[in-house]
Chain A
């Protein structure tokens, strides 16, 4: 069997095994609260027919795009600068390390007080969750850069902004992209927490709302399934970034 086919069949087989196991477990436990895979699929169908599924997916992607986009715009330059200028690093790094471990859930009250319950509040929470991994990886990328690039560049008389643009940034890029990929995972991960605020759309909201709706745990699990599937697609997309020549040189071959 060729390798391509194997890469499709193996994950599918895992999925089928998982679904069968899930179904049997629910049936055996006799629970009428936790849904079977079929009930979840029916719940998804119901949401799709009402047009809610598309609306909620768009809302969540919108918030993650903006929150994460802003985090990249702020985090990458900040990380590069901190990695390069020692005094800036000394001044700001402790502060960043203090803010970094605070969960976005802890920021929910602050987000409501500052932004109310419009889209800005979840965007802010997603920004917070993703900006620190991006900053830290960009910072580390510059600090761990091989000195030989720098010496060569200096021998050619490069300094200032050209040095930054032509040597430091390309050298750091592969590690920066890895940081961005991890941060995107985190950004998507906090979408449920971010939408716990009283916005009225989104996949996170779907889960919270289904809990309010009585015995609709099929919709809770449907929200989880959609978040998982979209997370998979996002990861595949960012992995494509790593295929560009500008990035690929930075990875070891296996």
Chain B
């Protein structure tokens, strides 16, 4: 059967060629350099937002200083995929940067994870359209506000601010939206206000149609959006590796905050190698103002989490069945006062 044979040969050839090409171009099968010094490491999930900046910075500094991977940074594009990988494939990705209220909620739902460290402080804002008549929180009445998800602490900070002026979620319209889509939604005025982690708020400012209503740091000093959470199995079986990771995160946080030059270097290498964003955007949000997002003082503190817990319960996303000692293991986190930044400068 000539037809059958021709087709079979063509298809087999195609499958072989495309597989080898994919292996060579994307999987680095033939890249000898990739083999050297690669030991099997564990994955750490993150999204390309400044709340997770310490993840790539730790990886980069460690790789530059020691020449090998401390862990495998695994970049996701959205919260649901990151969460599914984290809770479903804990062997491949035992640790992840994740929204603080989401970590607490997962714990309440029986997922055995612990928060071991914070990822950042502040670095969120509420941004409105520059032509809108919204100048204070009370002006948000009846408006549509985009938040990253129901378990985002940005949703809780809105709730907290609304309460201050005697309003609640019934007085506004909250919609959930992936942060990357927010600037365009604000520009086209599909929503009246947006809130998420940076750099997406900075982007709306930088592009000229966004006006910051308030920065998280000004209304809730020390605001925590994301934390580093680890599976209990990994805490039990791989204590040393988790300790190394936490030390790295704490130290690289200090390094970022050490000088504006470090911040600008971080913006460059993270934008190019990890986030695939325009370096100008990261430079902007890391510099203007310099305390828009900070990376020191990252040990989890009871009072702060109890406030999140209380707000989460009031806002209807948490049951209140998990408490600080259930979802936090602060034995890894070093005292922020004694953390030393690594002696590292980017080779120019």
Contacts and interface: CB of A to CB of B under 8 A. Distances in A.
Interface of A: 32-33, 54-55, 58-59, 61-62, 65-66, 69, 108-109, 112-113, 116-117, 119, 196-198, 200-201, 208-209, 211-217, 241, 244-247
Contacts of A197: 81
A112 B89 contact: yes
Nearest to A247: B3
B92 A209 contact: no
Interface of B: 1, 3, 7, 11, 14-15, 18-19, 21-22, 25-26, 47-48, 74-78, 80-82, 84-85, 88-89, 92, 178, 180-181, 183-184, 187-188, 199-200, 203, 207, 275-278, 281
Contacts of A55: 25-26
Contact of B277 (A108, A212, A246): A212
A83 B331 CA distance: 64
Nearest to B21: A58
A215 B203 CA distance: 8
Contact of B88 (A113, A211, A213): A113
Top 5 A-B residue pairs of the complex, sorted by shortest distance between their CB atoms: A62-B22, A113-B88, A211-B180, A246-B3, A112-B84
B21 A196 contact: no
Contact of B85 (A61, A112, A211): A112
Nearest to A61: B18
Contacts, number: 98
Contacts of B278: 213-214, 216
A59 B14 CA distance: 14
Given A61-B18, A69-B15, A244-B3, A109 B184 contact: no
Contacts of B1: 246
A218 B277 CA distance: 14
Nearest to B45: A198
B14 A200 contact: no
Given A65-B15, A113-B84, A244-B3, A209 B22 contact: no
A198 B77 CA distance: 7
Contact of A208 (B77, B82, B203): B77
B75 A198 contact: yes
Given A69-B11, A109-B80, A117-B74, A212 B184 contact: no
A86 B204 CA distance: 62
7 contacts: A62-B19, A112-B81, A117-B81, A198-B74, A198-B81, A215-B207, A245-B3
